Amino acid sequence: MKKIYEFSYRDILKREENIILRKLKFVRRLNRIFNVLIKYVESEKIEFAYVRNLLPWNYLSIKFIKQLKKLTKFVILDVPTYPYKKELSKINLVIDNIFNRFVGKNINLVVTTADIEKIYGVRTIKITNGIDVKKYKLKKNIKKDGEFHLIGVANVSLWHGYDRVINGLYEYYKNDPRIKVIFHVVGEGKELNNLKKLTEEKKLNSYVIFHGFKTGDELDNLYDISDVAVGSLGLHRIGLLKSSVLKVREYCARGIPFIISSYDEDFDKEFEFMLKFPSDETPIEIEEILKFYERIKSKNYSLFMRKYAEEHLSWNNKMGKLLKEIK
């Protein structure tokens, strides 16, 4: 493969006050992008196509993979979450149910993290998510007297479970806190307004900061001042107890310890720079995070985590298994 042509729905969906106009613009832009990709595949004579799940499946996405099937030798579909029904809104679920029956006819193999033999009626190969480690800057550890900083970076959704952290901060500050703990929420998303309301109700505005979407130096600077990152804490809400979350892999590549609540097979019990909480609705115990950090702060954890990401989480490591399967 000569090049990788990568896009996401979020990149092409701009804010519009009128939801109908927004949807129409989204459809037009999506159609243009699919057309550009098909022309690229055709002109470059691409033999293998690797497509991430295009949810909800719709007329345009089915047309796209059908064209890929005609132009290439092998179409691989990456299904990062399965089952995924609870991730979709009611209307998107209806649309997906109409069109997902056509997926299996137009793909050769499914890559997934789920323990299931077939998806869309097509054989699967189990591979946990990988990342381009070099894409992420190693964090600096900036000392902050009397403060402890948490960071959560996401397209904020219900399954990220950030409300558990906010509720945990509420419990923490009800007692006599030994250190000021601040939670930085970075990103936008459907759940953001609920988190802001919860923060207001709990009177935690001084301790929960909503930064909105950040990239580049602004995002790097927020990582630099943070001590521990927050992974997904609510995957049980969509029926998942196992995970292979990309953001956690980014945290590892950046060299920042993190917390999660689901099982991730890329990080076993011996991985000491991860703290696992129960997959339930209990508030996150902030004191446990502080104790966790006390145990590891004297160790050179950032460099260790970076090396671990290079050896275990990179796409080079993950794709070896897939290439053998294709051959």
pLDDT of residue 304: 95
CA dihedral 248, 249, 250, 254 (to 10 degrees): 100
Domain with 30 in it: 9-126
The answer to the question of residue 150 being in a domain is: yes
- Residue 325 resides in a domain: no
User: Residues 172, 298: one domain?
Assistant: yes
Report the C-alpha gap between 129 and 55 in whole angstroms: 18
Give the end of a domain, one of 103, 126, 149. Answer: 126
H/E segment holding residue 126: strand 122-126
Q: What is the pLDDT of residue 142?
A: 83
- The CA–CA distances, whole Å, from 24 to 28, 37, 89, 188, 204 equal 6, 20, 18, 22, 39
Of 87, 110, 126, which closes a domain?
Answer: 126
- Same domain? For 102 and 197 the reply is no
Same domain, 150 and 291: yes
Euclidean distance between CA atoms 244 and 257, whole angstroms: 16
**Confidence at residue 212, expressed as pLDDT on a 0 to 100 scale:** 96
Instruction: Count the alpha carbons within 13 Å of 323 in the hemisphere toward its beta carbon.
Output: 7
Q: Is residue 318 part of a domain?
A: no
Is residue 97 included in any domain, yes or no? yes
Same domain, yes or no: 217 and 250:
yes
Pair (174, 120) in one structural domain = no
Find out whether 139 and 106 touch, Cβ atoms under 8 Å: no
Instruction: Kindly state whether residues 58 and 172 are assigned to the same domain.
Output: no
Asked whether residue 319 is domain-assigned, the answer is no
Per-residue CA distances from 319 to 72, 80, 111, 233, 315 (Å): 19, 15, 10, 28, 6
* pLDDT score of 1: 46
State both tokens at 253. 């590549």
Residue 2 lies in a domain: no
In a domain, 317, yes or no: no
Give the helix/strand (H/E) hosting 231.
none
Position 19 scores a pLDDT of: 63
Would you give the DSSP letter of residue 180? E
Q: Within this chain, do residues 100 and 145 fall inside the same structural domain, yes or no?
A: no
163 shares a domain with 22: no
Residue 3 covered by a domain: no
**Does one domain contain both 81 and 159?**
no
- Are 118 and 159 contained in the same domain? no
Same-domain check for residues 121 and 257: no
Q: What single letter denotes the amino acid at residue 241? A: L
Domain boundary among the residues 126, 161, 193 is at 126
Complete DSSP assignment for 18-63: SHHHHHHHHHHHHHHHHHHHHHHHHHHT--EEEEE--SSP-HHHHH
Residue pLDDT tens, the chain, 327 long = 455 545 454 544 444 446 667 777 888 898 999 999 999 999 999 999 999 889 999 999 999 999 999 999 999 999 988 888 888 889 999 999 999 999 999 999 999 988 899 999 999 998 888 899 999 999 998 877 889 999 999 999 999 999 999 999 999 999 889 899 999 999 999 999 999 999 999 999 999 999 999 999 999 999 999 999 999 999 999 988 888 889 999 999 999 999 999 999 899 878 999 999 999 999 999 999 999 999 999 999 999 999 999 999 998 888 887 888 777
- At residue 210, the pLDDT reads 98
Check which CATH number belongs to the domain holding 263 and give it: 3.40.50.2000
Q: Are residues 269 and 149 in the same domain?
A: yes
How many domains does the chain divide into? 2
